[in-house]
Each structure stands twice: as C-alpha cells, then as structure tokens.
Structure 1
C-alpha cells in the first residue's frame, strides 16, 4: 500500500518536473488538481483543449483513480491504469518537446 502511494507521488513529481523544465511558462505548474491545471493553463496562455492540458488532465484523473480505489477490488484495473499512465507521461513529454521546438522557432 505504501509502495502505491509513493509511486503515485513519484508520478506526480515527474509530471510537474517535465512541465516545469520548459522555460516558456509564465509560472510553474504547482499541482495536478483540475483547478491547478486550469489556473496554470490560463496563466500560460493555453486552451483547455490543448494537447498539454488534455494530457495533464488525463494523468491527474488516472492518479486520482489509483488513489481512491481499494487495492483488492481493482487489481486488473490498477495494472491497466498504471500502463496507461506511463504511456500518458511519454505522450506529455513528446508534446512538450514539440511545443518547445515550435516556441523556439517563433523567437
């Protein structure tokens, strides 16, 4: 149980570090709640439907799913969600790399 908690925290930190490693934001993303993502998106000039915001929201929902479910009841779902989270994290990284490339081409 503790391992699952630490893994969720690790994934949250990874998402925040990946986003905040980009120098193009006016402020750092401080959390993965819907409100934190929305506030950061507005401050960063990103639309709710932008790939970055969609990826962050998807990651947030899946982390929330893992946090609120009983271990016994969702073993299969938990494994699938963890696999999906890893894929979502890779997609977020790729999207941010593309975003960073397009930002530098405008400067």
Structure 2
C-alpha cells in the first residue's frame, strides 16, 4: 500500500507543481492523451523540456504502477528516485516560465 500511496502522492505533486502557473487549462492527469491535450490547449512545444519531463515522469509512474504487485526491487527504487528528480526538474522549468 505504501508504494501505491507514494505513486499517487508523486502524481499529485507533479500536477500541483505544473498547475501553479496559470494556464488556459490545468493539467488534470498524467495519461498520454491528457498531457497531449493540455499541451495543445496551452500551446506548449511538444519537443520542449517541460513536455519531455512530464511525459518521462508519467511513463515512469505508469511503469511503477504495473510493478506494484511485485516485490519492491532495486529497479523500483531507482525509478522512484528518477521520478523525484523529474519532479524537481518540472518545478524548475515551471518556475522559469512563470
């Protein structure tokens, strides 16, 4: 259950950081379709650093979600650290464009 809570908390934190900036439309989730729509509505360059970091974090969180029923492995821990680093990178990018 702790891994589930950590993933949900990480997703909420990413959404909270992204939505600190006033956008035409907030980011409501981390599915590919939701992110792509958000980028389109807010005219965000899909090849830019913000888009890349959000997609990468979403992919890693999706992978972690699929590993939740398995024993926590070193790979799981490393991905969790990578998600934390991506969250910080997203925060830095948002701060620079605010």
Same fold (TM > 0.5): yes
> Gapped runs of 5+ residues in structure 2?
none
From 73, 91, 94, give the equivalent of 1:93.
91
Structure with higher Rg: it is 1
SS of residue matched to 2:91: helix
Regions of 4+ moved over 3 Å: none
Structure holding more helix per residue? 1
Would you say how many aligned residue pairs link Structure 1 and Structure 2? 97
User: What pairs with 1:1-107 in structure 2 (closer than 5 Å)?
Assistant: 2-23=1-22, 25-69=23-67, 70-72=69-71, 75-100=73-98
User: Cα RMSD over matched residues?
Assistant: 1.0
Q: TM-score, normalised by structure 2?
A: 0.94
> Gapped runs of 5+ residues in structure 1?
101-107
